[in-house]
Structure 1
Amino acid sequence: MLEAGKKVKLRVERQAPFGYFLSDGETDVLLHESEINKEITIGSEVEVFLYHDNQERLAASQLEPFIALDEFGWLEVVDIHPRMGAFLNNGLHKDLLLPADQLPEIKSKWPEPGDRVYVQVEHDKQGRMLAVLGKEDDFVRISKPAPESLFNQDVNGYIYKIIKIGAFLFTEGQHLAFLHRDEATEPLRVGQRIEARVSRVREEDGRLNITMRQRKEVSYSQDAEKIYAYLQERGGRMPYTDKTDPDIIKQKFGISKAAFKRALGKLMKEGRAYQEDGWTILHG
């Protein structure tokens, strides 16, 4: 019995206006002209990959899929249908469906075109190919422990699972990583590629804890420059100091009171500002 998702050898039976009909002796399938990349002759045997076309008919292709039935691989998202799910490029003219029930309930966490997901090809109840997201055990199987030398280094990778307290990442170095929601600097989605810094290499299993937040020294510098620019815009004076209420600091500068004090301290240490009578003032 012919099944979608597999390579088979079939006999070329006859030509049609839009391709060729192939057969295993019992079932005829169409090899559309757009799916032909090698010479075809009537009566010969050809190796083809079987799939269901847009009319849900079993069809053949000489194109090579990136992954076949029961195989795993990383596929790029090419389109999103809010009801059906995500469509993936599997190397054929017809894209592979990753059903909506495989994706997070919150649609803002769904992948976007250009993202990449790790999936396995399976059959649905009608025997059609569909994609299923890789599970934790699948990632454990292909991962390797991270070396201690990765501590405080930047890593890149793809988010493969999002839970209430954070997201799981598979790095391009094949390491497993966890990003706590407090360490994220933007909304996250499945399939998203991010760059983050390693905050911990777990000794027991070589997994990583990562953060998208900048190193403190970089953050201090950026906050200090923001405050310095604000002072310049106000003629070199502002009625905010390290004694100002935290809510006012948050409203005016978008940072915490602690971050404000660190940045202000940097400006004063560098001799660019000083405080006097409840004001912060630029030097000369």
Structure 2
Amino acid sequence: MVNVGRYNTLEVIRMVDFGVYLDDGDKGILLPKRFVPEGTKKGDRLEVFIYHESEGRLIATTQKPAGVVGDIVMLKAVSVTPQGAFMDWGLMKDIFVAKSQQVTGMHPGKKYLVKIYIDEQTGRIAATEKVERFLNNDNLPVKEMDQVNLLVYRRTDIGYFVIINNLHTGVLHFNEVFRDIAIGDQLQGFIKKINPDNKIDVLIGKPGYQRVEDETGKVLRLLNENNGYLPYNDKSDPDDIYSFFAMSKKTFKMATGNLYKQRRIVFTKTGIQLVAED
């Protein structure tokens, strides 16, 4: 058995002029010649992506699509028909979004967030813009402080509505965003809080001490790029700190405090100074 719409590691069972056939437990799946790695021989095991070609037969490729079944990704519409839109997802054959699976209608050249899934009627890989029906916060395998993958889905009045691990929803609040982000951005973050109603608040970056460690590295880099001195300290305006460091004043104070304890910086009346190494 093979997993359609996903990567499979399959054995080469037959060599032909136009490619190789891979073991699927039946007659084999063709990997066209242009995708066969040089030096491939019978018995080799290859990692391939499996999907349906235009006539409905399963086919293998070593190309890497923008996503696999279950993923939510940002794709560009390359053509639109009365029946639906074709999206570029990095393979020879574009992925189809039926008209009924679009939210407001798609236009060529524009990008849209879609979920890749297997259509129950055709058994083929398809995509839908109606992703929210696949998201659920009823049963949460995640807990507070867990690191997660975040996908920025839309902007709200209080922040950004994000998709967590392609399964759940959360909010990244405006007052905790210290960098430019856009719809479709994929970010690393962590669960800040799970509320009683299972609504989730998230933050970008790593939790706890790891987060401070990341920011200390940034402070050190900026010091080295500015001759070992920066005119910022715990008395600086929070907006000035955010503008220069892209971090909150609280995080800045934690990072510089950590560096001070390590004797890597000193505080001056006007800023912070890098300690010269012996």
State TM-score, norm by structure 1. 0.49
With normalisation by structure 2, the TM-score equals 0.50
